[in-house]
Amino acid sequence: MSRRSATCLRCCLVVFAVVSALGVCGPALYWRFKKTVKLGGSKISCPSCNCDCPPPLSLLKIAPGLANLSVTDCGSNDPDLKREMEKQFVDLLTEELKLQEAVAAEHTRHMNITCAEAKRVASQYQKEAEKCNAATETCEEARERAEALLIKERKVTFLWERRARQMGWAGE
């Protein structure tokens, strides 16, 4: 960037910062300034409010049972929760480790079963491939024998045809 554009960018950032600060702090400063001017210049008091509003409802009237709850007796009637809360931190960690070991053992068992199944299927495919290769070799050998027999038969046919022509056969 050139020096002029860097200076322009800095000026824009400063203007943006000032405008942002005024946007955030401006309304609070405006109202404070307005109160000070109003209180200093003239004393205009607000007329008293006459309203027949009912008193606000208390929490006891809205939910009477809610006031009886306290943190100390929370769950005191639940024997399972009581037993869990009495356990020591080490016992809880030991239990968590046992659970993680059980999950890991189940995962390992599942992985071993999957791996054994994959080996079995791979072995089955290998056997099928070997059968296919053996059949292909058998077919290739049969084709080679048939080709050799055809060549031999053509030679014999050519020999007989030549003899027939020597004896006067005109052919087709």
Alpha-carbon dihedral 23, 29, 31, 36, rounded to 10 degrees: -160
Please write the tens of the pLDDT for every residue from 19-34. Answer: 998 888 888 888 888 8
Are 165 and 171 contacting, i.e. CB atoms less than 8 angstroms apart? Answer: yes
Place of tokens 């060549």: 151
In this prediction, residue 154 carries a pLDDT of 96
Domain boundaries along the sequence of the chain: 89-163
pTM (two decimals): 0.36
Q: Among candidates 63, 62, 85, which has minimal Cα distance to 73? A: 85
Distance CA 103, CA 92 (A): 17
Question: For residue 120, is pLDDT > 90?
Answer: yes
Please write the tens of the pLDDT for every residue from 138-169. Answer: 999 999 999 999 999 999 999 999 999 899 88
